[in-house]
Amino acid sequence: MSLLALWLDVLVPLLVTVLLARAAWAALAVEASARWLLRSAPAHQDPGGGDAVPWFVVLVPMLREQDVAAESIAAFTALDYPAGQAAVVVITTEREHSARTEQRHRLPKLAALPVLTAAHLRGLFPARRCPVVAQLVNAAPPDGQLALLTDLFDTEPSTADIVTELASQPTRHLPLVHVHQDDVGGRKAGQLNWALDRLPDILGPLGWHEGADGDDTFVLVYDADAVPDTRALTALADAASINRAGTGRTPALIQQQRLPLLARRAFPTGPVGLLLAGEWAYQLRRSLGIELARLLFHQQITRSRLPGPARTALRPMVYAVGCGMAVHLPALRTLAGFPEPMEDLGTGHRLSLLGADLVPSAALVLDEPYTDTTGLANLHALAFAASARPDRHARAIAHLPSTLSSQAKAVLVLREWLDEAVWLLGAPVLAAAVASAWWAGPLWAEVAAVGVLLHGPVTTARLLALVPALHRGVRPPSGTELPPRTRPVHPIALVAASPLQPFVRLAGPWRLLWAKTAGRRSDFGKTER
């Protein structure tokens, strides 16, 4: 058999069948997950005063978050939960000040540019301030642009300045504690671990003691730009109680579902805006069809009476999400804190490999979609780097007791490697198979067409229809308003272009691999939206 015959007679039919099966699974997973969220959300009740409830330590790391710091603190300190059983800890970092000091030498060069753009100011000012600063400097006389830019730079308050002032004021409900990290390097995980290492000192004045309260404490991580549901802590406590009642164990991880539905900033116009809107829809599909679907499936597999080999074959690797991720404090101590470079993916991988109880919560948390291509590419590269080496996570927890056999751990690692290979190669290989399907036979051309339509336009159109109900499912904390939801400017174009979106997600990983091959240092920067 020639290579051409092998491709057309064997590989193309196999690949287009895989495409159709994958598209059908994704559509079903999105639908089932969305229905579960919409059906379960009204079940949350206000916390009872008489029943014992767990402690929640809400950690909110901030870096260049001047624009949202006050709004974020107002929302998180207004969460509906007994005030003596929760606290909000905001973690700022000296890295922000150090970076500003290092960047100051760039100001003369930037002021000399014919036209200063927001992209030039990235990293010097908060993301939402960059367009305003660029406009002010461009409008100034040429001989005064450097002085104006320097004055704007020097008078821009740091996140720590803003949080320090807010921490001195009364909060709406839950107590607020401000912790400032030294410039010790690292990323978001480093800020979180800085607070974890000082938890007894941070919470001691509030009456919390790890010896007495640690076994019933969850560490809850949010992004600074997120808007939580006011019932979030109650819903998480409910999820823990239900799992204990059903299994006799406290879950190691309770995951809220993060949905990128906040429209604080509009997508750019033109092809770039269409690309970013497509990525927004793809992220929404991933949130429902992969992240939540895997949690629900993991929960079913864990509680099932299937034979061990069947559970080994079916058990998924769970992706934790670092916005709405509640980790049981004893489990976090066992893991020695949050792993770098991505605290959420690493935590999910390690707890999955330990066979821990991982459960979903139906309380949603909203955040912003990416409206900048650089931040989006950084996100994809960083996520690929964190996911591509599950063997490192397996080695990191090899000395810890696990409910999984060595064979079950190996299957999880191999499956994750397969997922990463599909990420890198799946889109171009499947595209080649779809393009060749007609020459493989009319039947396979029809299978390919159905697979493409179901994977792209059909599922994307369904996601757009679900967005209003999902957005309405969030009840913002008292005294805060729910920001408007994300709306694509050209929904028909978005649906039509959806089959091309998997190729967009290749840019970050392939750029990372190219940099490594060329021996260049990979510096992701902050993945700002």
Q: What is the pLDDT of residues 354-388, one digit of tens each?
A: 999 999 999 999 998 888 887 788 888 888 888 88
pLDDT confidence of residue 329: 97
DSSP notation for 374-418:
HHHHHHHHHHHHHHS-HHHHHHHTTTS--SS-HHHHHHHHHHHHH
pLDDT, the chain, mean? 89
Confidence of residue 30 (pLDDT cuts 50, 70, 90): very high
pLDDT confidence of residue 524: 53
- Segment 218-236 mean pLDDT: 94
* CA–CA gap between residue 64 and residue 97 (Å, rounded): 9
pLDDT confidence of residue 325: 96
Confidence of residue 271 (pLDDT cuts 50, 70, 90): confident
Residue type, 291: E
Task: Find, among 96, 211, 207, 224, the residue nearest to 161 by Cα.
Answer: 96
- Segment 30-58 mean pLDDT: 78
Assigned token pair, 405: 């056999």
* CA–CA gap between residue 161 and residue 180 (Å, rounded): 10
Does residue 252 sit in helix, strand or coil?
coil
Burial of residue 496 (CB within 10 Å: 0-12, 13-18, 19+) is middle
Assigned token pair, 361: 């919560």
* CA–CA gap between residue 409 and residue 317 (Å, rounded): 10
- Segment 105-112 mean pLDDT: 90
Answer whether residue 526 shows pLDDT above 70: no
Answer whether residue 339 shows pLDDT above 70: yes
Q: Cβ contacts of residue 306 below 8 Å, gap of 6+?
A: 314
Which stretch of DSSP H or E encloses residue 93? Answer: strand 86-93
pLDDT confidence of residue 47: 54
DSSP notation for 154-222:
HHSPPHHHHHHHHHTS--SSS-EEEEEE-S----HHHHHHHHHHTHHHHHGGGT--HHHHGGGEEEEE-
> Considering the chain, what percentage of its residues have pLDDT values greater than 70?
96
> Considering the chain, what percentage of its residues have pLDDT values greater than 90?
63
Assigned token pair, 362: 């139906």
Confidence of residue 29 (pLDDT cuts 50, 70, 90): very high
* CA–CA gap between residue 289 and residue 418 (Å, rounded): 18
Answer whether residue 49 shows pLDDT above 60: no
Task: Supply the Cα-derived Rg of the chain in whole angstroms.
Answer: 24
- Segment 220-235 mean pLDDT: 94
pLDDT confidence of residue 309: 87
* CA–CA gap between residue 349 and residue 413 (Å, rounded): 9
pLDDT digits 0-9 by tens, 497-516: 999 888 888 888 888 888 88
Taking CA 177 as the corner, what is the angle to CA 172 and CA 182, rounded to the nearest 5 degrees?
A: 150
CB atoms within 10 A of CB 197: 11
Task: Find, among 392, 411, 217, the residue nearest to 301 by Cα.
Answer: 411
Measure Cα distances from 165 to 58, 178, 256, 257 in Å.
19, 10, 30, 31
pLDDT confidence of residue 528: 47
pLDDT digits 0-9 by tens, 131-183: 999 999 999 998 889 999 999 999 999 999 999 999 999 888 999 999 999 98
Beta bridge partners of 217: 55
pLDDT confidence of residue 187: 82
Answer whether residue 288 shows pLDDT above 80: yes
Which stretch of DSSP H or E encloses residue 359? Answer: strand 358-366
pLDDT confidence of residue 297: 94
pLDDT confidence of residue 163: 96
Burial of residue 514 (CB within 10 Å: 0-12, 13-18, 19+) is exposed
* CA–CA gap between residue 418 and residue 168 (Å, rounded): 51
User: How long is the chain?
Assistant: 529
* CA–CA gap between residue 447 and residue 457 (Å, rounded): 15
- Segment 18-27 mean pLDDT: 95
Answer whether residue 529 shows pLDDT above 50: no
Which stretch of DSSP H or E encloses residue 19? Answer: helix 12-40
Q: Alpha helix locations (H) across 304-363?
A: 308-314, 329-334, 343-353
pLDDT confidence of residue 46: 54
